[in-house]
Amino acid sequence: MSYVRLQKLTEPMRPEIATTFHRVAEILKTKNGRPLQLQFSIVDKEAEEPTPWSVAITKEGAQVEAKAAERPDVEIITAAETWWEIAEGKLSPLEAFLTGRLRVRGHIERAKRVFLQDLAAAPAQLPDWLR
Amino acid sequence: MALSTGTVSCLNLSDGFGFVSIKTSPTTEEAFILWFGNNRSAGPIALWVPELQLALARSLTVVIQHATSSAFIEAVRINAP
């Protein structure tokens, strides 16, 4: 079974991790511009606590900050290496979740919409059990 | 290791998967995996399902243990009302 992968967030070369979140903000702002607060908690092997990044889509624009979101609609918790694989379009976020490499909390339906539709590399049908 | 605490909002069980969602605050849900694919018969899972069913039916608080960046459940604790 193949799962929905994201658009490449890393072109043209592997950038700073912040660039991937700026790309997420850019895509989501362009896609529908609906207000949304995302938090990415990136787990680094050497750090005890995950590093938070927030992506806020508002009517005024999109903002990325290296801090926790005040009231995230969706939070993704994953290791830095897993996030890079997702951002490079090599690993589906759903596959990462199902193989124990990613957690999601917040509004699950919004998470599905954002990560399996809005940021998807190509339109795809979700598995029956996920609908 | 991390712990997530909340009330069970959904238990989604099938031959191929077992998912549970818990409400950790009035506006926050978190999805966890009991099994996915062929590991259904793995020991404690058989015990967690009735525990979670009971917690769902009675709105009991559950504490789920998992790795920081993994949704796979490692242990389940149910608190008395």
ipTM: 0.90
| Number of structural domains found in chain B | 1
- Give the per-residue pLDDT at A83: 96
pLDDT band at B11, cuts 50/70/90? very high
Among all residues of chain B, which has the CA nearest to that of A81?
B69
Per residue in B13-60, pLDDT (tens digit) is 988 899 999 999 999 999 999 999 876 666 788 899 999 999 999 999
Reference B72, options B5, B8, B14, B2; nearest CA is B2
- Give the per-residue pLDDT at A14: 64
Which H helix or E strand runs over A98?
Answer: helix A93-98
Range of the domain at B64: 2-78
Q: Which one has a higher pLDDT value, A114 or A15?
A: A114
Judge whether B16 is closer than 8 Å to chain A, CB to CB. Answer: yes
Question: Across the interface, do A100 and B72 touch by the CB < 8 Å criterion?
Answer: yes
CATH code of B43's domain: 2.40.50.340
Which residues of chain A make contact with B30, given a CB cutoff of 8 A? 103-105
User: What CATH number should be reported for the domain whose range is A17-120?
Assistant: 3.30.1050.10
Question: Across the interface, do A129 and B30 touch by the CB < 8 Å criterion?
Answer: no
- Give the per-residue pLDDT at A34: 87
pLDDT band at A49, cuts 50/70/90? confident
Helical H runs in chain B?
45-58
pLDDT band at A47, cuts 50/70/90? confident
Question: Across the interface, do A103 and B17 touch by the CB < 8 Å criterion?
Answer: no
Average pLDDT, chain A: 90
Reference A36, options A17, A63, A10; nearest CA is A63
Q: Where are the domains of chain A?
A: 17-120
Question: Across the interface, do A103 and B30 touch by the CB < 8 Å criterion?
Answer: yes
Tokens of B6: 């909340």
Q: Is the pLDDT of residue A122 over 90?
A: no
- Give the per-residue pLDDT at A106: 97
- Give the per-residue pLDDT at B44: 87
